[in-house]
Structure 1
Amino acid sequence: MTLSEMLNIGLMQGFAGLSLFSVLLLMGLGLAIIFGQMGVINMAHGEFMTIGAYTIYLFSHLSETYAPGFVQAYFPFAIVAAFAFAFAAGWLAEWAFIRHLYKRPLDTLLATWGLSLGMQQIFRTTFGAKEVSPTLPDWLMGSWAPAEGLDIPINGMFVMALTLVVTCGVLIALHKSRWGLRVRATVANRVMANATGMNTKKTDRLTFAIGCGIAGVAGAAFTTIGSTGPTSGSLYIVDAFLVVTFGGAASLLGTVVSAFGIAQTQSIAEFFMTGSMAKVLTLMAIVTILMLRPQGLFASKVRR
């Protein structure tokens, strides 16, 4: 194998890692908002991702069945719908029982774990136990070859662009919008925020729903690189929590950096060893770093 071929293989593996990075980052962003900003351990976060993935499949199936001419254009509309459906499900879940469990982390963990099992059963009943895949538009298929022997999949570039847009949107919203101001005020001092007239309960519900909506977008991105089943989201929940914990629970920048590091380490390691061993290597590296820096890569600075 020549040096050029090895370089091309390394670049393609790195780009495969960027596709995984995109899904992990979108999942981690939603968790960073819910867990980092609100302190809620949402074990059902992966199922909200699955809602987004099944939304893409549903739009694909309906387009093929009833509007074949819409197959080439449905995907962007389906992404918006994925966010909307996951947002609505998150809003309902927060209103139904999570609002009663704030400051009770163990109860919240158990309740959301039960919610995840219930949602998985709903997926099985509705879509069946087998994995399904949507029919992607032609413009998402194929690859771009900037050099001989180097093929970069177009759907991976689209997912990266989508992730960039969502990440920038979240950062701008947190620092420039009225919702972001309320979130930061609530996190800093909930009692004072209530005293100034802010409806912190409404802020909590909206924040939880937005985090779930971003997970829905992660599910939409996931459909371009894998098939969807009732337990697809649960396969990513541990990695998503690792991303948030490793980066620093309240740091969105840390979420971005840790998602990139975990995805690239796992992707490159999988080229030299089995997938299971690559995960073990990645986990060992994270545990070692967290032993040296328990607060994560980018710890938030707060007054005590």
Structure 2
Amino acid sequence: MQELAIAIFNGISIGSVLLIAALGLAIVFGLMGVINLAHGELMMLGAYATFVVQNVFKPLEDSPIFSIYIFVALPVAFVVAGLVGLLLERGVIRYLYGRPLETLLATWGVSLILRQFVRSVNWGLVLGIAIFCLLFFGGLFVVKRRGNWERIRNGAIALLLVLSAGISTTASILLGRAFGDVLTKPWFSARNVDVTAPAWLRGGLAMGNFQLPYSRVFIIILTLLCLAGIYWFLNRSTWGLRIRSVTQNRSMSACLGIPTDRVDALTFALGSGLAGIAGCAITLLGSVGPNTGQNYIVDTFMVVVVGGVGNLFGAVIAALAIGTVSYLIGSGTLALLISPVEFLQPLTDLFNFFATTSMAKVLVFVLIIAFLQVKPAGIFPQKGRTAEL
């Protein structure tokens, strides 16, 4: 019974990681209908933001102040991922609403760009991007003041884009040659990085011969807080009610004066920020790298789909169920529990065959596919007008 309790706890902790990763996706995919394959990379950015905050606090490692860096990293990860998500929505997604295949391809391309950006980013690249933004957006601001802006808009944007890109690229190359490794040395490179957990998150709560890791307990509590915060925001705040209104009927919401463009941007930024918090949480479980997000994106989509698109309570049930079943199978606990029953020996042999992390994921996916054959809309399917859209 003790082993079963430990296995259930570990399964719930895994489910909490999936849930905190799926919360943002449930908002973006469930409420907006956008298939965002860059969601995993937004988690990765949150993880790297945590790594940077940790390095800022590193000189204070012997001080009690270092122990609170995680509380600084959480809002920083939220803001970094949220701003990137906002840029993604304003620059790409806003032109692709109602076109799921195009959003899938576009966000897949963005995910590749973000992964390569993390591998290659250095001071020279940052300066080049800053020069480009200054020239391009500064030029747009000046040109827009002309009276014939609408007539020359497309040509002006194309010309500014080419000139800004050329000047910023040339400046970045020249600065790199002038200052050498100071500007060209990568910040992170392709290697994985480790985040040192605060002292109070190391170790665990003793339960007989086992321990409940404090880091996983912290993730469970963080997930509960995020879930409560999102529920309150969507059901009690003014902007949350606007999000729900636009989700139910965009045309009527616009007629009532709700700024649907701002609602779209806020919703995407909120979902992206939650991905950043998830990235901060997964740094407590192991090293992170440019491909970290790819380890979670499929599982988080499964959580949203199985729970019911757009249903947060369904996402909770699905995440906990998938996490618990995955751990019970992958750890061999399920096979151990039924092994004393002789007539279940074939089933025991089957579970022993899948008693690894990778094989358990295969079996869980098979079970999910079988479940979706029975309930294709998930545990809690959408009802009413939303289901018709």
Contact 1:251 1:298 in 2 (8 A): yes
Answering whether residue 60 of structure 2 is matched by residue 37 of structure 1, we say no
Do 2:60 and 2:66's aligned partners in 1 also have CA atoms closer than 8 Å?
Answer: no
CA–CA distance in structure 1, aligned partners of residues 327 and 61 of structure 2:
38
Q: Which residue of 1 aligns with 2:316?
A: 256
Counterpart of 2:87, as a letter, is L
Q: Distance in 2 between matches of 1:22 and 1:81?
A: 21
Match of 1:298 in 2: 380
Q: TM-score, normalised by structure 1?
A: 0.95
Letter in structure 2 aligned against 1:24? L
What is the match of residue 213 of structure 2? 153
Q: 1:15 to 1:274 in 2, by over 3 A?
A: same
Determine whether 1:282 maps to 2:387.
no
In the alignment, is the contact (CA less than 8 A) between 1:47 and 1:119 conserved in 2? Answer: yes
Larger Rg: 2
Q: Is the 8 A contact 1:19 1:159 kept in 2?
A: yes
Q: TM-score, normalised by structure 2?
A: 0.74
- The one-letter code matched in structure 1 to 2:90 is W
Distance 1:23 1:45, change over 3 A: same
CA contact (8 A) 2:86 2:265 kept: yes
How do 1:155-170 residues align onto structure 2 when only pairs under 5 Å count? Answer: 155-170=215-230
The one-character-per-residue Cα deviations of 1:19-45 (angstroms, maximum 9, x if unpaired) are 211111011111110011110000000
CA distance in 2, matches of 1:67, 1:225: 20
SS in 2 for 1:72: helix
Aligned with residue 87 of structure 2, among 75, 92, 95: 92
4+ runs of 1 displaced by more than 6 Å?
Answer: none
2:204 to 143, 158, 161: 143
Using the TM superposition, give the Cα deviation of residue 73 of structure 1 relative to its aligned residue in structure 2, in angstroms: 1.5
Q: Deviations over 1:79-98 (max 9, x none)?
A: 11111111111111111111
CA distance in 1, matches of 2:78, 2:11: 24
Mapped contact 1:8–1:149 kept (Cα < 8 A): no
- 1:237-273 superposed Cα distances (whole Å, 9 cap, x missing partner): 0000000001111211111100011101111111121
RMSD over aligned CA atoms reads 1.2
Find the counterpart in structure 1 of residue 154 from structure 2.
Answer: none
Question: Which residue is equivalent to 2:287?
Answer: 227
Q: Which of 16, 26, 37 is 1:22 aligned to?
A: 16
The CA distance in 2 between the partners of 1:131 and 1:15, in whole Å, is: 28
- Identity over the aligned pairs, expressed in percent? 42
Partner SS state of residue 271, structure 2: helix
Aligned mate of 1:74, from 54, 57, 69: 69
Q: What 5-or-longer segments of structure 1 have no aligned partner?
A: 1-6
Question: Match for 1:61: what amino acid?
Answer: N
| Amino acid in the other structure paired with 1:197 | G
1:209 is the counterpart of 2:275: no
Shift of 1:67: 6.8
